[in-house]
Amino acid sequence: MKGIIVKIVLASANKGKITEFQKLMPNDEVIAFSEILGKIEIVEDKDSFKGNAIKKAQTIYEELIKIGQNDVIVISDDSGISVPALNNEPGIYSARYAGEGSSDKQNNAKLIENLNKNNLEKTPAFYTACIAIVYKGEVYTVHGWMHGNVINKELGEGGFGYDPMFIANGFDKTLGELGYEAKKEFSHRTKALNLAKKVLDVIL
């Protein structure tokens, strides 16, 4: 981004995502929207990762405009894991698979339960990340994917979400066992963010 320190407002309340974005964009000022706007509930009612990402980014952008924060970039991410053998569940419901307000542990337990119901110890799965960028009223979106297998147990303490249950292609350990430094080299969010950075290079 041409050596400019960019102020980026992240349209997320997910602490794991916020930390990951801050680590992936160390040269930019990345802050959570709540630091400026306080608590805002955004209903993720679209039928795709792209739709939800755009809604989150646009909602926060419009709220920032109302308080005179005109020259900011809002970035949102909607992401999740899909298991083809389970009709691509949890998919867009990944963050609330076990119900609204559910924890990572509860969501993982629900996925393990459904895998066991189908006698699946290990089965193909993939992560999708869609990043939406809103800047000066314009909307841009990019996607990234990570393929591998999901297993019916949790291994490792690293990462967040379904990381302890996911083994990426080419590895024999879960993302929870590999830890952040390894994951960031090939994750769906890293891939999407690398594309997002190219978009920012063009628009800034």
DSSP assignments along 1-35, one per residue: -TTPPPEEEE----HHHHHHHHHH-TTSEEEETHH
**Whether residue 78 lies in the annotated active site:** yes
> In the 8-state DSSP scheme, what is residue 172?
S
Residue 6 Cα to chain centre, angstroms: 20
The strand ranges marked E within 28-176 are 29-32, 73-83, 89-90, 122-135, 138-151, 166-168
Q: How far apart are CA 124 and CA 114, in angstroms?
A: 14
Residue 175 Cα to chain centre, angstroms: 15
Residues 176, 163 contacting (CB under 8 angstroms): yes
**Angle (CA) 176 180 184, round 5°:** 120
> In the 8-state DSSP scheme, what is residue 159?
S
Residue 124 Cα to chain centre, angstroms: 20
Active-site residue, from 78, 104, 163, 172: 78
- Hey, what amino acid is at 99? G
Question: Catalytic residue positions?
Answer: 78
